[in-house]
Amino acid sequence: DGGITQSPKYLFRKEGQNVTLSCEQNLNHDAMYWYRQDPGQGLRLIYYSQIVNDFQKGDIAEGYSVSREKKESFPLTVTSAQKNPTAFYLCASSIDRGRYEQYFGPGTRLTVT
Amino acid sequence: GQQVMQIPQYQHVQEGEDFTTYCNSSTTLSNIQWYKQRPGGHPVFLIQLVKSGEVKKQKRLTFQFGEAKKNSSLHITATQTTDVGTYFCAGGYGQNFVFGPGTRLSVLP
């Protein structure tokens, strides 16, 4: 059963703590992405990766970090430097960047208090 | 910079009425994609348009790409309650995709 998994579905953290969101895909896709979605708003790109061991900042990378040590995995760390971390985080993948559809995971809803 | 606008932001329709959302870019797009996100869910790919003036249909959904490749529209004929959700366009600029803010559709039974 191919797809993208994100865990956990809901995550609660205290302010000042770093937290890592998991994203795994078994679609054999080269490209992976992290988006942030705030209530009633669109998707904003945090980071993307086209290949293992390489990743690029998106539009709102400040306060976030990623790694891509394996093709299947692209975890996102929300650091304490992120001013407003409470949001819905979506991971996606595609065959390659450019003219290919993106497959999204179910998302992680992060609440920081 | 690259920016994609969508109108309207919200649309409330009676079941059976038609619905249209519009997507606009200030610069020429290489392609455009449309996604649907159900309430509480994640975006799901609907279609991609590549050619100038292209029109594609999926049952009650009609997608158009403008002649100048700067705008696109999604039209739903005779809406049903299953059409509820937010519709996003994603404008392609070479290898980059920029998502529009989405149009949230509610359908009253």
CB contact under 8 A, A106 and B94: no
Please report which confidence band the pLDDT of residue B94 belongs to, taking 50, 70 and 90 as the band edges.
confident
Is A19 within 8 Å of A77 (Cβ atoms)? yes
Tokens of A93: 């993948």
**Which among B92, B101, B102 has the least Cβ separation from residue A99?**
B92
Q: Which residues of chain B have a CB within 8 Å of the CB of A101?
A: 33, 45, 48
Q: Which residues of chain B have a CB within 8 Å of the CB of A49?
A: none
Helix and strand totals (H; E) in chain B: 0, 11
Question: Which segments in chain A show pLDDT lower than 70?
Answer: 1-2
Please report which confidence band the pLDDT of residue B32 belongs to, taking 50, 70 and 90 as the band edges.
very high
Q: Tell me, what's the pLDDT at A2?
A: 66
CA A31/CA B103 separation, integer angstroms? 27
A94 contact partners, CB below 8 Å, separation of at least 6: A29, A30, A31, A33, A100, A101, A102, A103
User: B39-91: per-residue pLDDT in tens?
Assistant: 999 999 999 999 999 999 999 999 999 999 999 999 999 999 999 999 999 99
Q: Tell me, what's the pLDDT at A1?
A: 57
Instruction: Please state the length of chain B.
Output: 109
The percent of residues above 90 in pLDDT, for chain B, comes to 94
The percent of residues above 70 in pLDDT, for chain B, comes to 99
CB pairs < 8 Å spanning A and B: 43
Q: Which residue has the tokens 């158009």?
A: B64
**Which among A43, A98, A106 has the least Cβ separation from residue B99?**
A43
Q: Nearest chain A residue to B38 by CA: give it.
A: A106
Is A15 within 8 Å of A80 (Cβ atoms)? yes
Q: Which residues of chain B have a CB within 8 Å of the CB of A103?
A: 45
Helix (H, G, I), strand (E, B) or coil at B102: coil
Helix (H, G, I), strand (E, B) or coil at A5: strand
